[in-house]
Each structure stands twice: as structure tokens, then as C-alpha cells.
Structure 1
Amino acid sequence: MQIVWFVLIFISLSSHGGAHGPDSCNHIGGLCRVGNCVSGEYLARYCFEPIILCCKLLSPTTTKS
């Protein structure tokens, strides 16, 4: 019975549509992080939804003189 629960959890985690994987995250210039993005980063997408986030650096704002 425990194996059935394990299989159901695995199928549930792998069936999320918002996950793109680490290759896609690296392609857009992001890094996969577990939990939260660090200061100066924002959530661009998910590497593996909902646990591993694809975080990307905030672009610096430019000001005209």
C-alpha cells in the first residue's frame, strides 16, 4: 500500500504544467533555487513546481542625467 502512495505522489508532482526544468531556466539566465529567491532576484518561472524556483536577477534601473 505504501508503494501505491509513493507512485501517486510522484505522478502528482510530475504532472504540474508550470515546470520547465533547469535547462529552460539557464537559457533565460536564471538559477534554480529551493524555497525562495534571494535578495535581488525575482521568480521567473519554476524549474520543478512548486518546490524548486527559477530565479532571475532584477535588471538594474537606469536613470537619465
Structure 2
Amino acid sequence: MGILWFILIFISLTDHGDAHGPDICNHKGGLCRIANCISGEYSTQYCFEPIILCCKSLSPAITKS
């Protein structure tokens, strides 16, 4: 019975309106984080609403050529 509740909770988290999933978050340059973004990041959307946020860096990353 515990597994059934886990599956139902997981489905309800992934089925919410603004939950886009980790692939879209990563594609847009963000990372999925549980509950809060770390210092220097801001929340742009949800990976799995309402717990896992898609966080992006405040400053663009510097890349070496």
C-alpha cells in the first residue's frame, strides 16, 4: 500500500500545471534544486511543482575559448 501512495504522489507532482521537468530546465541553462535555489541563483519555473525548482545563475557563466 505504501508503494501505491508513493506512485500517486509522484504522478500528482509531475502532473501539475507549471511543472516542465528537468530536461527543459537544463536546456534553458538551469538546474533543478529541491525547495530553494542556492546563493547567486533565482527560480525561473518548476521542474516538479511545488517542491523542485528550476534555478538559474544571476550572472552568466564565463566560458573559455
Is the TM value for this pair above 0.5? yes
Matches within 5 A, 1:3-22: 6=5, 9-22=9-22
- The CA RMSD measured in Å over matched residues stands at 2.0
Cα distance change, pair 16–39 in 1 and its aligned pair in 2 (3 A) = same
Q: Mark the runs of 5 or more structure 2 residues left unpaired by the alignment.
A: 61-65
Name the count of aligned residue pairs. Answer: 58
The aligned amino acid for 2:44 is: A
| Matching of residue 24 in structure 1 with residue 27 in structure 2 | no
Aligned partner of residue 46 in structure 1, secondary structure: strand
Look at both structures and tell me which one has the larger radius of gyration over its CA atoms: 1
The two structures have a TM-score, normalised by structure 2, of 0.72
Structure 1 unmatched ranges of 5 or more: 61-65
